[in-house]
């Protein structure tokens, strides 16, 4: 039997205006709703100025979702750090995990464990972003 193929896009961007300092919850709410329907999982990190997001899922869904996100005026200077195909998800438990605080302890621990087990490119991108 063929393994599933997931496309994984990891990008960085900069928040425009004061979007980064605003509550992330409207973005997360839409993301979780859409991503749940589209079979997308991932992680969104922000420090209030920069975003780093990983999207993973069926290739067509990832392409459509990323195209929509790339047009969003709430951020700019989008740079793709990694675009690859994988047979397993890194964040399969999350329609969009949030690494911006607010996540409860349990979630944070599961997230850190997922990052520890993530491919080196993914781990490095989030480590670099967070420093
Ligand atoms: C940093 C950032 C991350 C986002 N992540 C997602 C996401 O994972 N999934 C998603 O559907 N929308 C995400 N969005 C929101 C989309 O850009 C878009 O507003 C939303 O999908 C609704 O699209 P529509 O207005 O064309 O229906 C994100 C927006 C930003 C600024």
**Nearest-CA residue for atom 29 of ligand 1:** 69
Q: CA 54 to CA 120: how far, in whole Å?
A: 14
Buried b (16+ CB within 10 A) or exposed e, 69-91: beeeeebeebeebeeeeeeebbb
Joined together, the tokens standing for residue 44 give 């969104």
CA nearest ligand 1 atom 28, residue: 69
User: pTM here?
Assistant: 0.91
Q: Which of 1-5, 24-28, 37-41, 42-46 shows the lowest mean pLDDT across its residues?
A: 1-5
The answer on pLDDT for 42 being more than 60 is yes
Distance 114 CA to ligand 1 centre (A): 23
In percent, the amount of the chain with pLDDT more than 70 equals 92
- 2: pLDDT strictly greater than 80: no
Q: Mean pLDDT in the chain? A: 88
The predicted model gives 39-58 an average pLDDT of: 93
Residue 101 pLDDT class (50, 70, 90 cuts): low
Residue 47 CB: number of other CB atoms within 10 A?
Answer: 14
């Amino acid at each position: 039997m063929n393994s599933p193929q997931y496309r994984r896009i990891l990008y960085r961007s900069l928040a425009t205006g004061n979007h980064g300092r605003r509550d992330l919850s409207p973005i997360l709410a839409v993301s979780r709703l859409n991503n749940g329907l589209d079979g997308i999982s991932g992680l969104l990190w922000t420090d209030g100025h920069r975003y780093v997001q990983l999207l993973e899922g069926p290739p067509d869904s990832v392409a459509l979702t990323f195209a929509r996100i790339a047009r969003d005026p709430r951020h700019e200077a989008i740079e793709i750090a990694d675009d690859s195909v994988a047979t397993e998800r890194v964040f399969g438990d999350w329609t969009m995990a949030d690494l911006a605080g607010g996540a409860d302890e349990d979630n944070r621990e599961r997230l850190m464990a997922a990052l520890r087990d993530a491919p080196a490119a993914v781990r490095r991108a989030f480590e670099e972003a967070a420093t």
